[in-house]
Chain A
Amino acid sequence: EAAVTQSPRNKVTVTGGNVTLSCRQTNSHNYMYWYRQDTGHGLRLIHYSYGAGNLQIGDVPDGYKATRTTQEDFFLLLELASPSQTSLYFCASSELGGSAETLYFGSGTRLTVL
């Protein structure tokens, strides 16, 4: 069974704070994704990567950086957090990024920016 682990599960920070969300997958998948989920919206893609050192911009990238340090690890960075970034964040992975492929998700990180 594919495994994607996110940490922390919950995070509270203040406006202007620096936050790093972590994601590790043990699936040997090439693609990894960061999404945010807000009430009234579907999941929206922030950034994604198809391998170590690679980064692609998603649909809602403003205010976020990301880094893929290894095939397993993908980090989301909020360097100057704002209340609008309060959200539920999901990391996911897929093997080759194909259009019919299954995405495997972590359990999510709930971020609150005060």
Chain B
Amino acid sequence: GDSVTQTEGQVTVSESKSLIINCTYSATSIAYPNLFWYVRYPGEGLQLLLKVITAGQKGSSRGFEATYNKETTSFHLQKASVQESDSAVYYCALRPNTGGADRLTFGKGTQLIIQP
């Protein structure tokens, strides 16, 4: 079946430094799935951060960006300069673009800790 791998359970970054959270995927059901990043701030539910539905394209939101790389099957999340308010758990997810929302597959999540 489809799978999403986030290798780091936790990432610690100093404020104003750059960030990369790794995400790779395996989509056995379809070659080019839709890809998403969701974020969960403390005490809140998950909310969509960004999505990309076309291979090779880049999505961006709130200073974060991720590029859909079909060659390396990756969708890494990056930010040039993090702030304390970015502390949250980040989830990478995929969904086949021929399937419904019931086929959404999530990674385990990466907790981002910002050091002042």
**Interface size for chain B: under 10, 10 to 19, 20 to 34, or 35 or more residues?**
20 to 34
Tell me if B's interface is mostly helix, strand, loop or mixed.
mixed
* Number of inter-chain CB pairs below 8 Å: 69
Asked if B69 CB lies within 8 Å of chain A CBs, one says: no
B91 touches A42 (CB 8 A): yes
Question: What mask results when residues 50 to 70 of chain A are scored 1 for a CB within 8 Å of chain B, else 0?
Answer: 000000101000000000000
A99 touches B107 (CB 8 A): no
Q: Which of A14-22, A75-83, A100-108 contacts B (4 or more CB under 8 A)?
A: A100-108
**What count of chain A residues pass the 8 Å CB interface test?**
29
In angstroms, how far is the closest chain B Cβ from the Cβ of A57?
Answer: 9
- Report the Cα distance A97→B40, complex, angstroms: 21
Contact of A101 among B43, B44, B91, B101 (CB under 8 A): B101
Contact of A42 among B45, B48, B96, B109 (CB under 8 A): B109
- Residues 32-61 of A at the B interface (beta carbon under 8 Å): 33, 37, 40-45, 48, 56, 58
A107 touches B95 (CB 8 A): no
